[in-house]
Structure 1
Amino acid sequence: MDQDVAEDLVFEVASGIGRVTFNRPQARNAFTFEMYERLAEICEQANSNQAIKVLVLRGAGDKAFASGTDINQFRAFTTPQDAVDYENRIDRVLTTLEQCRVPTIAAINGFCTGGGAGIAAACDLRIGTRSARIGFPIARTLGNCLSMSNVSRLAALVGPARVKDLIFTARLVEAAEAAAIGLLTEVVDDLAALDGRADEVARLLAGHAPLTLNATKQAVARLQKRLTREEGEDLIVMCYVSEDFREGLDAFLNKRAPQWRGR
């Protein structure tokens, strides 16, 4: 494993609990492509290692759970296939997380946006602090779009109307509302309480019947109809290959407001 990835995404196992820490606090724990792949590897490890009973995901520092994909990862995009490959990667990683054999808990403090919010939505439980802010602000930042799998997963969690509300308004949902609409399963006061509560829930689940938990995860997944990746590729290409996406990327990196043109 590459040393930089090991430092950016820390994985430790103790007493049956696997703890995954997104460790780029200087970048609000924004994900590189290598970090996505490492997260998938950890889920596969949990699938094969019966000693791992539960996974807890958290962000380092006190500012963010994860703020999505590091914008610099997009600078090399030049073809429609680059966009399709990127969203296919995200679909694959988040599906691996969602289908992980063991229960997964997202411990959310501060910003949880874009791909970070996608990771949280793919977890089984989401515990957040009162300072948690969750959303998909892509309509005011980059002008890209979610994949069909991500839209399906989010719609199953909060409903189609809420998906439109979240993405159309590009707002970040505060903790109380997030709990009310299903983005959070529980709210605690602060970061110290979050760490304690996440560990408490993890220990509880680690002591429960693993086949019951796994069967319940699979049953819920079978209830949710998903469209294929291919059914959404035209939408991905439309957004990522657009002039607007390039404008959004340049505006974000230069800290200015984007000028959308719809093409």
Structure 2
Amino acid sequence: MAITENVQEGYVSSETHAGVTTIEFYHPQSNAMPTLQLEKLAQAIHFAGTHDETKVIVLKSAGDRSFCAGASFDELMQIKTPAEGEKFFSGFATVINNMRKCPKFIIARVQGKCVGGGVGIACAADYAIGVEGADIKLSELAVGIGPFVVGPAVERKIGTAAYSALAIDATMWRNSDWAKKKGMFAEVHENIANMDESVKRLANTLAHSNPEAMAALKKVFWQGTEHWDTLLHERALISGKLILSEFSKNAIAKFKAK
């Protein structure tokens, strides 16, 4: 079964084979995330979680340079009210919450750089496999906001000290080895072929494991995050207000001009 949802110039596709559902997203701007793309990704994750044929999910993006560039700068520039801002950032909240509540394990295949919301999505996966060159950066403070929505997922995965370092030094890239040492990546491979072989091996192993045991184990792993349904949307309101500042508008314009 294969489903493809076109989103403006990008897409979200979903394909199930032998118990493994592969969800792929793409956007021409380094796999950035506009609202519609976030909605389609959240829907695909929710559907796979309720789909009996799905035993495990592989989350990936297209191309070989960027896993996800985070929020769409084009859309951020168009936000005019706090309500519009909250709606946009709630898109990331819904994706992370759907990943958290999905009863199937989610393996993130991280083949390139992660920025902002992309770091949050990778951290919300149950098991992330990266490649050398999959550097990470939480760039939100550099554009006048902060990683409020994705912060809980990042902090849960790598700890408060490492999360704080990423959030505060918002212009500095951390390499994939740093991310592995902090716990974001369970594995880092020297090339994409080796990474894909590891993703395939683990996905096939989990596809033949006990679904009830995996669902129960995932519930244990995520214990204590039940309040995220409210928390992440409250955080979206913070970002939604800050993105209206003159500082943010000017900073985004500078980034787009580069």
| TM beyond 0.5 | yes
CA gap 1:63/1:242 in 2 versus in 1, 3 angstroms: same
CA gap 1:158/1:71 in 2 versus in 1, 3 angstroms: same
Residue identity matched to 2:11:
D
What is aligned with 2:208?
207
CA deviation profile, 1:215-260 (whole Å, cap 9, x unmatched): 11112222347562465466325521211111112111112xxxxx
Residue identity matched to 2:116:
G
Contact 1:152–1:226 (CA under 8 A) maintained in structure 2: no
1:41 CA drift (Å): 1.2
Task: Find the partner of 2:71 among 55, 69, 72.
Answer: 69
Contact 2:82–2:237 (CA under 8 A) maintained in structure 1: no
1:135 CA drift (Å): 2.0
CA gap 1:131/1:230 in 2 versus in 1, 3 angstroms: closer
How many residues align? The count is 252
Tell me whether 1:15 sits opposite 2:18 in the alignment. yes
Whole-angstrom CA distance in 2 between matches of 1:226 and 1:241: 27
1:2 CA drift (Å): 5.5
Contact 2:119–2:138 (CA under 8 A) maintained in structure 1: yes
TM-score scaled by structure 2?
A: 0.90
The percent of aligned pairs where both chains have the same amino acid is: 24
Identify unmatched segments of 5+ residues in structure 1: 256-263
Tell me whether 1:242 sits opposite 2:245 in the alignment. yes
CA gap 1:230/1:175 in 2 versus in 1, 3 angstroms: closer
Whole-angstrom CA distance in 1 between matches of 2:254 and 2:247: 10
Contact 1:68–1:114 (CA under 8 A) maintained in structure 2: yes
What is aligned with 1:178?
179
Tell me whether 1:29 sits opposite 2:43 in the alignment. no
Residue identity matched to 1:211:
E
Residue identity matched to 2:202:
V
What is aligned with 1:155?
155
* Matched residue SS, 2:79: coil
What is aligned with 2:102?
100
CA deviation profile, 1:145-202 (whole Å, cap 9, x unmatched): 223x522222111111211100111222211111110111111111111111111110
Contact 2:147–2:167 (CA under 8 A) maintained in structure 1: no
Contact 2:89–2:240 (CA under 8 A) maintained in structure 1: no
Whole-angstrom CA distance in 2 between matches of 1:108 and 1:229: 23
Identify unmatched segments of 5+ residues in structure 2: none
CA gap 1:151/1:207 in 2 versus in 1, 3 angstroms: same
CA gap 1:80/1:2 in 2 versus in 1, 3 angstroms: same
Whole-angstrom CA distance in 1 between matches of 2:238 and 2:7: 33
CA gap 1:37/1:9 in 2 versus in 1, 3 angstroms: same
Whole-angstrom CA distance in 1 between matches of 2:236 and 2:92: 13
CA gap 1:224/1:93 in 2 versus in 1, 3 angstroms: closer
Residue identity matched to 1:205:
L
Contact 1:94–1:118 (CA under 8 A) maintained in structure 2: yes
Tell me whether 1:254 sits opposite 2:242 in the alignment. no
Contact 1:5–1:38 (CA under 8 A) maintained in structure 2: no
